[in-house]
Structures are given as C-alpha cells and as structure tokens.
C-alpha cells in the first residue's frame, strides 16, 4: 500500500519556467509534509516542509502548496535553473510518532 503517491515520475522544464510536482496522501493523521532534493551520487537533503495549519510556504524560489481537503500537496519551483536538475521526493509523517514515508520520486531536468 503506497501511502504517498507522487507524480510525475519525470519532468523536463525549460530554464526560467515553473516546475510543479504533486503528491497525494491517504492517511489523514499525517501532519508533517517535507520535500527532499537529491543530486546524483548524494543522499537526499531536506528542501522545504509544511504543516497542515498553513496552505502555502515559500522559501526563495521554492513553494509548497497544501490542500488539506483534497489531501494533496505540491512543490513549485519558480524560475527553474539547470542547477535544480535533481530527483525530488515528497514525504509525510505523523510528527513525533512515525518515521517518514516517501513518495517514489520525480526526476527533474531543467534544460537551457
């Protein structure tokens, strides 16, 4: 049973464009939703995270949008750059209670 469903599997975006990656979850007890970024040959690194008491969180060019009623959250990368090319994972957990459950990942390629 996949608790966090991520789409698309891969994404190609022009430099300067907007990259959008979506995740959906089933467990309404989840209350912490991070995104991780992974470059080839490296471990994932925390990029940005949100809790369900807010609908949006922005850090620089990266924004998480959260829709509690639809049980969906998404990552938006504004003004995408070739250096953003990486694999992105969404995740969810019940804070203080369970380990993170990860989506299957999205491979983003930003082309000039």
Partner 1 sequence: NAGVTQTPKFRVLKTGQSMTLLCAQDMNHEYMYWYRQDPGMGLRLIHYSVGEGTTAKGEVPDGYNVSRLKKQNFLLGLESAAPSQTSVYFCASSSLDRRGALHFGNGTRLTVT
Q: Tokens 């998404």 label which residue?
A: 74
Q: How far is the CB of 102 from partner 1 (least distance, A)?
A: 4
Strand pairing of 56-59 and 101-102?
unpaired
Closest by Cα among 49, 40, 45, 92 to 71: 92
Nearer to partner 1, 14 or 98 (CB): 98
Nearer to partner 1, 3 or 17 (CB): 3
Figure out which of the listed residues 19, 34, 62, 66 binds partner 1, where binding follows CB under 8 A: 34
Bond from prior residue into 88 cis (ω within 30 degrees of 0):
no
53 binds partner 1 (CB under 8 A): no
Q: How far is the CB of 20 from partner 1 (least distance, A)?
A: 19
């Amino acid at each position: 049973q996949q608790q966090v469903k991520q789409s698309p599997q891969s994404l190609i975006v022009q430099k300067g464009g907007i990259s959008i990656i979506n995740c959906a979850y089933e467990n309404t007890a989840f209350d912490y939703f991070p995104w991780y970024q992974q470059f080839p040959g490296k471990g994932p690194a925390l990029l940005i995270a949100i809790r369900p008491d807010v609908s949006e969180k922005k850090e620089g060019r990266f924004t998480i949008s959260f829709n509690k009623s639809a049980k969906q959250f998404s990552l938006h990368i504004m003004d995408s750059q070739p250096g953003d090319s990486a694999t992105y994972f969404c995740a969810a957990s019940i804070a203080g209670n369970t380990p993170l459950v990860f989506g299957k990942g999205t491979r983003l390629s930003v082309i000039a």
